[in-house]
Structure 1
Amino acid sequence: MDLLALGWTADRVAQLPPGCEPGRVLRVDRGRLTVRAADGERRVHPAAGLHGAAAPAVGDWVALRGELAVGFLPRRSAFTRTAAGRTSAAQVVAANVDVVLVVDALIGEARVRRIERYLAVAWSSGAAPAVVLTKADLCDDVTAAVEQVTEDAIGVPVLPVSSVTAEGLDAVRELFGPGRTAAMVGPSGVGKSSLANALAGRPVAGTRGIREDGRGRHTTTARELHLLPGGGLLVDTPGMRELGLHDDADGVAQAYADVEGFAAECRYRDCEHRTEPGCAVAAAIDDGLLDPARITAWRKLQGEARHQLLRVDARARAEERKRLRALHRTMRERPYRTR
């Protein structure tokens, strides 16, 4: 197997420990790794230190000594979310990806706010995001639906596709060619598995229908890396009903670049964009340049990113406590404070 076809680059050679060979992680399950090395596919055990938060993820390059993965090489990018449940731990969904395909369907409930959330995480990954809207063959007005998403997906290509008619598949393939890796992310039931099969030209993922309540079914049960005809690599991921931001302030800023641009023009640096005089965001809403619902979503994701940062970053917590103490001191010292 030519490692270049798996995305290997010559500069990674210096990162390999002595006596090791490289392999790329195709799948992680039951505490074991399925990897592809120069001599083909094999199942290996991770070393003692490669568990929990330090465990390799799908797409990682690992250093192999026989049937043991002794470490993994530095990641160039990583799509990371907060693990589901009551935790602040980061979960790497896919590593070393060049493109993140945010997948949603052109049928069903309104999708714009959900796509914005995925884009915020995708921008933080270090990869280039793109939006893929599936089930175009079932949509009455594809153009209008694409325009609705494009308006809020700032600087991101929005591609309608149909896994049934093959419409738009070539445009998706052009996003990642030989040696380049794309990761598909999105909720259950939007057609990720059907899209993976269509791009691969063969069944690589199981497919199932929508539940009676309209919610998607989990058809992909584990993340897996597939080598596609033409040389591209695709990570298929299980549907995510919960996508918690993990310190994604920069991603939120990029996903809402238009809002951030107006906010930078406000008269006051600490403007909360509500009723303050000289607020450029409020003026943009009044002029019809910004959707109020988009502002609400922006504030929500900003708050989530800040809350998550405070949970995982001791320095950020200390700075927040310092800020609150200063605010309380200022309130106490006001001469017109009611006594």
Structure 2
Amino acid sequence: MVVTGSRPNRELQPGMYFVREGTHEIRGYIPINEIGESNLEKLGWMRFAEGKWDIRNGNVKIKQAHHVNVADCKQQQYTSTINGEQMVLVSGNDVEESYDLGRALTSDPWIETAVYQGRDVRVEHAEGTSISVYMTSETRPHMLRHISQMESFDGLIQVDRDSNRYLNISFLGTKGTLIGNIFSSEKKDQIDMAFSVQVEGSKLRDYRSIISIPSSINNSRYVCFHPSGDLEGEMCKWFRYEAQRLNSYRVAHKWQSGKGECAGCNERGVDSFLTSLAPRQWLNGISSPVEFATMAVEVLIFVCLLFVFIVICTKCFIPLVCCSLSVAKTPKKK
């Protein structure tokens, strides 16, 4: 006897997945940073390692991503934001959540279980695969055939957030091969799809199956099942239609407003003006010869401009004004 099987129709793609602390639920379907990556647009750019939170090359990346706009210099009011995703911004009582943890692997209808243990991940398919059996015998074999049976069934038509469309069916007391048909009405005059479900085992048991269906089925349908070879045992039910909303685009986080804690630092009043007139304040902040030379050049330029202004006033404007005021009046004739 030779038994051969094909690969599953759908497989879990290689990539980065994560497990929330305290659970064994594997999640994914979102951009996640690789082991040596620290992209602020992906999940996992801040990591807890060696007892502390750390960002790879964070001194540079955070400075480049952090943007601040001054709204009112005197009142020390400003707005700030970070050019990144997957984080929580807290400003006083304002808490803004800007992250997406994706979804569990088991949310896909073709994945029965996805368990993380140690360094291994075990994925169990909810769908079967085709198996070919080749038998040769030197004597005449005796074949034992198990008759297909079904007590009842129930289910619904579902469309997930990624627009995957399928039948979610639960069978009670069943075994063998079940033949299913999807109709548009109870008249059974128009069939949308025909398929079969194989229930393993020789004993009656409950069974759950996921059947992919075409996009043309977009509302409730009349679904019928009968055991293989038993048309008289057909059962029919209406399956309601349920569709999840598409993934909504998350708007980028807004600017956070804040106020400085240094009262009066940015104000320029009479007191600050009088303080700046003190000679000891003139050299305050100069810490190198280059800065001192720069200040000396600026003072020299200011003195030269002041001298030119005084010369122009004394040689041009003042004599002109005096001349205009001292013009003699024409004497009147007696």
Q: Normalised by the shorter chain, which TM-score bucket? A: under 0.3
Greater share of strand residues, 1 or 2? 2
Greater share of helix residues, 1 or 2? 1
TM-score (norm 2): 0.21
